[in-house]
């Protein structure tokens, strides 16, 4: 291996080589002179029109070389570079060269990679670590390195440590591919897998989401151009109970207002089949929910109570109630067992058609059933209200 990118020739060496060619081939001198004369007439009489400017990259050192020659070898000669047996050059030395072309020279270097605890020793023709890794079959993006990809490989070699990058999976419709990358985003994962999504393709997770080990990235291919249409968002109607509104009655407090959204759809390829898929939704106008109140107030059904005629209807039932319960329809005797305006016992209450407790019934019903009780005992009020019954006749 050469310590430098080839060996540079001395000026004297190049001049001697030139003299030997002229002396050994006199006819060429005449031909060259004729060509030079013709070019001088065609190009304003200057020999500089034959000069070519070529970029030379010799083991990472870039320079501009001017040559009058026509091949890669002429460029190397002009730069004073002699190739060793194991050097490589691209294009090959006999390739024709033109102005603005590039020539690359690489000398062999030792590259040692300690990969996941295993030592790999290689001889590479590379100027940088990234170039060397590719030559030994390691994707620079697929390993985590102790040094940067553009680290120069010196003539005495380079040793680096490396660990395999996290594994990722990319699923493009039904095509599954695995890759390893040190990239930081989903976009980096796709690039490492060689997948370039189309402008409208659906990528999940999003391209700017962070990459994570063993993550699976799905790409849903979009066929053709997406279409956008406006869709009505139906407003909800909320119902609320109102205890002050008669039972079953409905009252609109707020009218509902529908909203509007723009929905973008496209034909996508899913599991090999073309199907419609919603790409995005954008709210144009938010819907406004309506409000309806539902009445829960129970009206007292006094009209349904039977009328009790005769003597009982003409008595002073309010006077009796004032004495028995203080006029409180929900009264309960402190000793227990007697309820309501007229202090019915549950058994007596049931005997005149009452249900539940008397104290839970309306005052009208309690009075109606007290009148029924009066008639049922033949007006014997003392048997039912021995202390307060006298007030029936106030």
pLDDT digits (tens, 9 = 90+) for 309-348: 788 888 999 999 999 999 999 999 877 789 999 999 999 9
**pLDDT at residue number 50:** 75
CB burial of residue 181 (10 Å; 0-12, 13-18, 19+): buried
Q: Domains (ranges, CATH) in the chain? A: 11-106 (3.10.20.30), 108-164 (3.10.20.30), 167-220 (3.10.20), 226-297 (2.20.230.10), 304-393 (1.10.530.10)
C-alpha closest to that of 264 among 220, 229, 221, 223:
229
**Tokens found for residue 172:** 């493009």
What confidence score (pLDDT) does residue 6 get? Answer: 46
How many Cα atoms sit within 13 Å of 195 on the Cβ side? 27
pLDDT of residue 247: 83
Residue 2 confidence (pLDDT): 44
Going by C-alpha positions, the residue among 385, 387, 333, 391 that lies closest to residue 359 is: 333
Are 149 and 135 within 8 A, CB to CB?
no
Neighbours of 317 (CB within 10 A): 21
**What would the pLDDT profile of 383-392 be if each residue is shown by its tens digit?**
999 999 999 9
Mean pLDDT by 10 residues, the chain (394 residues): 43 32 27 30 42 94 94 94 93 94 95 90 94 89 87 94 88 90 91 91 94 93 92 94 87 94 92 89 94 83 70 92 93 87 94 91 92 92 93 90
For residues 103 and 115, give the distance between their C-alpha atoms in angstroms, rounded to a whole number.
33
CA distance linking residue 40 with residue 359, whole number of Å? 130
Give the pLDDT score at 19. Answer: 27
Tell me 91's DSSP state. S
**Alpha carbons 308 and 376: distance in angstroms, whole number:** 12
Structure confidence by residue, pLDDT tens digits, 33-86? 322 332 333 333 334 447 899 999 999 999 999 999 999 999 999 999 999 999
């Amino acid at each position: 291996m050469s310590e430098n990118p080839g060996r540079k020739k001395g000026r004297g060496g190049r001049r001697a080589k030139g003299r030997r060619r002229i002396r050994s081939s006199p006819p060429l001198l005449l031909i060259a002179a004729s060509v030079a004369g013709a070019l001088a007439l065609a190009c304003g009489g200057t020999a500089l029109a034959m000069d070519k400017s070529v970029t030379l990259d010799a083991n990472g050192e870039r320079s501009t070389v001017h040559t009058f020659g026509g091949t890669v070898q002429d460029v190397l000669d002009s730069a004073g570079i002699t190739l060793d047996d194991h050097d490589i050059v691209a294009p090959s030395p006999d390739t024709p060269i033109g102005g603005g072309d590039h020539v690359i020279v690489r000398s062999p270097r030792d590259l040692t990679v300690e990969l996941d605890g295993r030592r790999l020793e290689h001889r590479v023709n590379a100027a940088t670590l990234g170039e060397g890794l590719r030559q030994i079959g390691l994707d620079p993006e697929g390993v985590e390195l102790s040094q940067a990809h553009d680290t120069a490989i010196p003539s005495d070699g380079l040793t680096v440590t490396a660990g395999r990058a996290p594994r990722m999976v990319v699923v493009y419709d039904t095509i599954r591919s695995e890759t390893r990358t040190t990239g930081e985003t989903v976009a980096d994962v796709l690039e490492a897998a060689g997948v370039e999504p189309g402008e409208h393709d659906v990528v999940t997770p999003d391209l700017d989401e962070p990459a994570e080990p063993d993550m699976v990235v799905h790409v849903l291919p979009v066929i053709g151009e997406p279409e956008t249409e406006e869709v009505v968002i139906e407003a909800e109607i909320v119902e609320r109970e109102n205890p002050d509104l008669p039972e079953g009655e409905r009252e609109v407090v707020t009218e509902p207002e529908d909203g509007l959204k723009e929905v973008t759809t496209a034909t996508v390829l899913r599991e090999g089949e073309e199907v419609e898929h919603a790409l995005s939704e954008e709210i144009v106008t938010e819907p406004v929910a309506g409000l309806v109140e539902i009445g829960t107030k129970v009206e007292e059904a006094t009209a349904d109570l039977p009328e009790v005629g005769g003597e009982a209807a003409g008595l002073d039932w309010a006077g009796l109630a004032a004495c028995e319960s203080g006029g409180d329809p929900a009264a309960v005797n402190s000793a227990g067992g007697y309820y309501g305006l007229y202090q019915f016992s549950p058994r007596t209450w049931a005997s005149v058609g009452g249900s539940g407790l008397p104290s839970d019934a309306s005052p009208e019903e309690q009075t109606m059933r007290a009148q029924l009780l009066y008639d049922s005992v033949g007006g014997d009020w003392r048997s039912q209200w021995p202390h307060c019954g006298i007030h029936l006749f106030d």
